[in-house]
Amino acid sequence: MRSLRASLIGAIAVTFLAGQTVTRPKDVREIAKAGSSALPQLQELLKNPDRDVRLEAVKQIIEIGPPRSLDALVVATQDNDPDVQMLATDGIVNFYLPGYVKTGVTAPLRKVGSSIKGKFTDTNDQTIDAYLTPRADAIAAIGKLVRSGSSMDSRADAARAAGILRAKAAVPDLEDAAHSKNSELIYESLIALQKIRDESAGPHVSFLLHDLDSRVQIAAIETMGLLRNKDAAPALADVLTHAKDTKVKRAALTSLAMLPSEKSRPVYLQYMNDKDDRLRAGAAEGIGRLKNPGDLPLLEKAWQDEAKPQPRLSLAFAMVLDGKTELSEFSPLQFLINNLNSAAYNGEAQPFLVELARDAKVRNALYAPMQSGTRAEKTGLAGVMGRSGDASSVAPLQKLTSDPDPAVAQAALTAVRNLQARM
């Protein structure tokens, strides 16, 4: 009897102690209701031995958001659980790109304990605006995860984050990750390097031009062009010649066109009449970037004969590069502006206009349609000026900040900030 009584007392004591020490995810949610004042307590919960509690703490820290949540998120990246690392990483991105956690890799993590499905997709074109400068310790934390996260998924997620945040300080970590044996990590690292645009990285990842994973190979090919790695031109030409995958050939010619050289002229000319739309487009871009006005008759003839939108956009771009900078109803430059209204082709037209607007003559020609165009034209051209404008672009953009359309006014304001950050 005495033994049974002792056992009951022991059980009650254990239950009492457990009640004093055990924290559950729902308790974390209750604590978070206090808002930003709860952040110190939530950060302390990042030491909790229960992974679900730590995960819920990170989720609540993210929901509380700026301005005081970043310190806790940086601490959370040091967790040894990959899901906690990933959620903390996405939280840091969300700090600078509000809404990211709803669409990012950890978006399916609706509640603690659920799995992350469909972690990575090809939709990976987000970046923060140029005027935003992430804190150095946040970038260092992400770079550390790129190099040594506790799973390949958390490393790949960190690589994606580094690209979105334009984290130049993480370039060495991304270069290191590109030498891993995990295709997802390599791919995310290459896309990040494309976004950061540190041209010094090009030679460090050129070995991937012949990778056996076509997705990685295509990303590496694109990276060579975007990072202007001219030393890679012979390898790109070799890939173009020997590749059997049409997507690989398209990427190789498009990147070779970004590295214009008279030595590549025969290659460009070879594909000007190819049966594949995108190969014709890449060839036109290469001819245009040679900037030889003597090529105009060739380009104009191809423009007249071409029926497909993709190569027509590239031919328009090429003709403007070769001096056709006038604006008229059927001019090449106007054709590019018109396509800012197209859901299918504005993603092609705007980068062409960004490149063209680096020339003062083209830039000056775009100021008038930036004030008088459609909403899509005004916002698109404001974005162009934010990336390629100069001091003379500030006044037209500031004028556009008073546009009666709030979307246009906001795009103009963002463009002014981005432009001033570059100047």
Annotate 334-390 with DSSP letters as a single string: HHHHHGGG-TTTHHHHHHHHHHHTTSHHHHHHHHHHHHHS-HHHHHHHHHHHHHH--
Rounded Cα distance, 127 and 261, in Å: 31
Cβ atoms < 10 Å from Cβ of 71: 15
- Token duo for residue 361: 């003559």
Predicted local distance difference test score (pLDDT) of residue 399 = 97
Question: What are residue 289's phi and psi, to 5 degrees?
Answer: -70, -10
Rounded Cα distance, 179 and 210, in Å: 13
Predicted local distance difference test score (pLDDT) of residue 107 = 52
Predicted local distance difference test score (pLDDT) of residue 121 = 47
Of 25, 83, 36, nearest to 63 (Cα)?
36
For the chain, residues with pLDDT lower than 70 are 1-21, 104-123
Cβ atoms < 10 Å from Cβ of 417: 15
Question: What are residue 351's phi and psi, to 5 degrees?
Answer: -60, -35
pTM: 0.89
Predicted local distance difference test score (pLDDT) of residue 104 = 59
- Token duo for residue 147: 């190099």
346 near 340, Cβ under 8 Å? yes
Domain ranges of the chain: 21-112
Which DSSP state fits 111?
A: S
Query: Residue 263 burial (CB < 10 Å; 0-12/13-18/19+)?
Result: exposed
Helix axes 233-242, 214-226, angle to 10 degrees: 140
What sections of 115-245 are H helices per DSSP? 136-148, 152-164, 171-177, 183-196, 202-205, 214-226, 233-242
Predicted local distance difference test score (pLDDT) of residue 2 = 40
Which DSSP state fits 33?
A: T
